Amino acid sequence: MDNFKTHAASAFYETFEPEEAKKLWDRFEFVFTPKHGSWLNMAEIKLHVLNGQCLNRHISTIEKIKEEVETVIQQNQ
């Protein structure tokens, strides 16, 4: 979950009556992700780099895509 204000208990209490806000808040289990270095941020960075290195053009077959990606991965290790 991101760190926006809308994911705080106060957002429920600003929007709903206290009883309803409490019921809604209790229904959810909020899992907060770190602001920096979450797995999603790291995956997005890797995909952005991969796109810039080999996927930003038409590649006609899935086999060729796999080959291109494997080549880039080996070059970056």
**Of 11, 46, 45, nearest in space to 30 by CA:** 11
CA angle 27, 30, 34 (to 5 degrees): 175
Q: Which pTM does this prediction carry? A: 0.44
Percent with pLDDT over 90 in the chain: 25
The pLDDT, as a whole number, for residue 53 is 86
Q: What is the pLDDT of residues 47-72, one digit of tens each?
A: 888 888 888 889 899 999 999 899 98
Residue located via tokens 């808040």 = 25
- What span, in angstroms and rounded, lies between the C-alpha atoms of 34 and 72? 29
User: Domain limits of the chain?
Assistant: 1-32, 39-75
**Of 73, 16, 77, nearest in space to 50 by CA:** 73
Type of residue found at 67: E
Q: What is the pLDDT of residues 9-56, one digit of tens each?
A: 788 888 899 999 999 889 988 776 666 667 777 888 888 888 888 888
